[in-house]
Amino acid sequence: MTFEILETAIAKFGHAMLESEEGITEKRRVETNPNKNMARWPIGSSTLQSTAIHPKFIFLPSNVPPVHPSTVLAMSGARNLSAALRRVRVSRPRIALRPALPRTPFATVRSFSVSSPVRADKEIKYTSDAYPNVQRNPNFAELTADDVTYFKELLGSESAVIDGVTSDATDDIEPFNSDWMRKYRGHTRLVLKPKTTEEVSQVLKYCNEKKLAVVPQGGNTGLVGGSIPVFDEIVVNTSRMNNIRSFDQASGVLVADAGVILEVADLYLAERDHLFPLDLGAKGSCHIGGNVSTNAGGLRLLRYGSLHGSVLGLEAVLPDGTIVDALSTLRKNNTGYDLKQLFIGSEGTIGLITGVSIQCPPRPKAVNVAYFGLESFEQVQRAYLEAKGQLSEILSAFELMDGRSQRLVQDSTGTKQPIEGEYPFYCLIETSGSNAEHDMAKLESFLENVMGEGIVADGVLAQDETQFQALWRWREGITEALSHLGGTYKYDVSIPLSELYQLVEDCKQRLTEKGFVGDDDSFPVRAVVGYGHMGDSNLHLNVAVRKYDKEVEKAIEPWVYEWIQKRQGSISAEHGLGIAKREYIGYSQNDTMVKLMKQLKNLYDPNGIMNPYKYI
């Protein structure tokens, strides 16, 4: 038994030997280089190599010749060495990983999407110009000075941002008139920021009576232009409704104003050992009311389910000022139609959500993140099925990123990729569980399997909070990396898993054939990129362009929607319809459904003042 020798060696020199099933049959030297955070291990004629972010942790891909099934060894720091070595004495290659440190998971992951909109120098095109077929509804009244006076008296002048209606208008209204992608821009002259549900009720009642159109707006982080006015609609912004109303430790039920920022809610819950059951890149800016209005899916739907299941109650205001008080905190309540469900995903078209009651799970005690390179989409699918089967109840994310998306992140951040070599596909897998040791054992067994079977070509595992964040950044940073390139045509679609990535290939081929794709500025398209939530069969197809170009758009649409329709997919998996997709709902919903939806819209908003020109 060489445990002591190995332990001493690794502690003193950072070297180690390994032992096969039958005893010590091979001695190999592991070179760790703390400066490079990398280890190399020469084996036979091939050179196995792997990067580990943590210098004391090494793990190696298992493309070892089959004659030596036990020659792959992983070592953790000296503290856990003996445990790691015990695992070597099995016939199949095994990889022993050090359990991740206890930490407050997720909470400190930096938000990306909304920071620093790029090319602020270029003017954003008005939506009304970009969509010339959309005409202002002449039934809507124009805002008057009297209206502004009414609102200022009702809400106080600090709750109104005004531009151009009255002489005292000095505020900068532009941030409320355009989106962070710099894709949509409206003409509003009034932004209202009510502080209470009662104030929202008064505002909407007045607008409904006067036929003033309204756009509800939360953190304005949407991707389909849903929260930006098209013409002169009044923006009703929820940013001043930002109180957490209650939290019950025993049941895990949080009740909060619609304008609470998602990350604020999650940090509040983190202090109470709970987790907001939704997480997404824009968490630092988006409002939970907006999340519910758009039925946001995000990174961990796979684990915590959709908002239709986790939202227990809502408070909302109908256009006529009626306050819908369905803010139940009960997990079960079968007393009549579940009306709150209609507001989830309705994008502010039938009412404005003012309060949310939501079931929050206990915060996982252990969270691990691994990042892989894979040789084909077929291998990605195999890896997903293995993860689903083996990681099962602790699998909290399975994210797909193509090679192009990762090179874009590398170019925009200047960061070195977590693994060496170039792969056509990358995956990020996260586990969240209540027992670090068990989770690590499951993950280890999974890794052993996918690496042993050659499903995964290379990979790394985060060893601490910093690395956890760093790995997630390779997924969450894609949106920002893309935004540096000019503009992006974004398609957020659901497709059966087997064909998920084919859409990217087909789209790229189509645009290339049309001569749109190229590396110099004469080509409108820079890159066709695919990534998304593999676990939800949800792909984000992104066409990065040097500037928005109607010819490119026409080459993509409606072709992309027809492609999806043929596969009975959804043209909007989680981003919603907004103005971007309002015309295309027919590709995912039949005429009967659209008719029934219009009937509902007319029922709740007969004057059509709520978020007009969008949705259906």
- CB of 213 or CB of 301, closer to a copy of itself: 301
Q: Which two tokens stand for residue 564?
A: 């999806």
Write down the least CB distance from residue 79 to a copy of itself, Å. Answer: 21
Answer for which of 175, 496, 515, 606 binds a copy of itself (CB under 8 A) is 496
Phi-psi region of 156 (alpha: psi -120 to 50; beta: other; left: phi over 0): left
**β strands within 303-436, DSSP E:** 311-317, 323-326, 352-359, 366-374, 395-402, 425-433
Q: Name the DSSP letter for residue 118.
A: S
Restricting to residues 322-351, which ones interact with a copy of itself according to CB under 8 A?
Answer: 322-326, 328-339, 341-342, 344-346, 350
Number of residues in contact with a copy of itself, rule: CB under 8 A?
A: 88
Cα–Cα distance between 246 and 244 in angstroms, integer? 6
- CB of 151 or CB of 615, closer to a copy of itself: 615
Only segment of 281-289, 321-329, 448-456, 466-474 that touches a copy of itself (CB under 8 A)? 321-329
Q: CA angle, corner 564, sides to 558 and 570, nearest 5?
A: 105
Cα–Cα distance between 471 and 331 in angstroms, integer? 35
Only segment of 25-33, 74-82, 151-159, 302-310 that touches a copy of itself (CB under 8 A)? 302-310
- CB of 238 or CB of 328, closer to a copy of itself: 328
Q: Residue written as tokens 């209206």?
A: 147
Q: Residue written as tokens 């990535």?
A: 501
Q: CA angle, corner 282, sides to 248 and 407, nearest 5?
A: 135
Write down the least CB distance from residue 406 to a copy of itself, Å. Answer: 24
- CB of 419 or CB of 455, closer to a copy of itself: 455
Give 533-588 as a DSSP string. EGGGTEEEEEEEESS--HHHHHHHTTHHHHHHHHTT-BS-SSS--TTTSGGGGGGT
Answer for which of 11, 17, 154, 585 binds a copy of itself (CB under 8 A) is 585
Cα–Cα distance between 563 and 581 in angstroms, integer? 15
Restricting to residues 361-420, which ones interact with a copy of itself according to CB under 8 A?
Answer: 362, 364-365, 381, 385, 388-394
- CB of 366 or CB of 456, closer to a copy of itself: 366
Only segment of 5-13, 161-169, 203-211, 427-435 that touches a copy of itself (CB under 8 A)? 427-435
Restricting to residues 509-548, which ones interact with a copy of itself according to CB under 8 A?
Answer: 533, 536-538
Restricting to residues 439-478, which ones interact with a copy of itself according to CB under 8 A?
Answer: 441-442
- CB of 30 or CB of 100, closer to a copy of itself: 100
- CB of 301 or CB of 457, closer to a copy of itself: 301
Restricting to residues 237-256, which ones interact with a copy of itself according to CB under 8 A?
Answer: 248, 250-251
Phi-psi region of 119 (alpha: psi -120 to 50; beta: other; left: phi over 0): left
Restricting to residues 586-605, which ones interact with a copy of itself according to CB under 8 A?
Answer: 588-590, 592-594, 596-597, 599-601, 603
Answer for which of 125, 272, 407, 438 binds a copy of itself (CB under 8 A) is 438
- CB of 70 or CB of 346, closer to a copy of itself: 346
Cα–Cα distance between 439 and 432 in angstroms, integer? 8
Other C-beta atoms closer than 10 Å to the C-beta of 200 total: 27
